Amino acid sequence: MGWGCGGKGKKGGKGHVDEWGYGAAPKAPAMVSTGDDDEELIWNAVTEAVQPILRLERELDQNKLEKRLRDCFKKGAKGMSFTGKPWYDLINEYADVVFAAVFNSLGEKEWLPQCDFLLCLDAGVKDSFPKNVLARVPQLEFEKVVLSAHDRAHEEQRVQPLMWEIVANFIDGPKGKKKVYNACEEAWKVAFQDPSDVQSFVATWIDSSIALIAGVSQGEPQWTMEPPIGCQLFDAMLQGGAIPFALVEAHGPPPPGWPFIGYCIEQAYATHVVTQDGSVYGKGGGKKGGGKGKKGKDGKARPLNPLLADVPPGQCRDFLLSSCKRGDECKFGHDDGVKAEVDLKRALQEGEEESEQEAKKARLE
Higher per-residue pLDDT: 321 or 39: 321
Residue 244, pLDDT score = 92
Residues constituting the chain: 365
Q: Do the beta carbons of residue 194 and residue 145 sit within 8 Å?
A: no
pLDDT band at 361 (very low <50, low <70, confident <90, very high): low
* Prediction pTM value: 0.66
Every domain of the chain and the residues it spans: 29-157, 171-273, 306-352
228-242 b/e (C-beta count within 10 Å ≥ 16 → b): ebbbbbbbbbbbeeb
29-64 confidence digits (pLDDT tens): 677 776 665 568 999 999 999 999 999 999 999 999
276-308 confidence digits (pLDDT tens): 666 677 665 434 444 333 444 344 433 445 666
How far apart, in whole angstroms, are the C-alpha atoms of residue 138 and residue 155? 26
Its sign, for the CA torsion 335, 340, 345, 351, is positive
How far apart, in whole angstroms, are the C-alpha atoms of residue 10 and residue 92? 33
pLDDT at 21 over 70: no
Residue 15, pLDDT score = 39
How far apart, in whole angstroms, are the C-alpha atoms of residue 252 and residue 256? 12
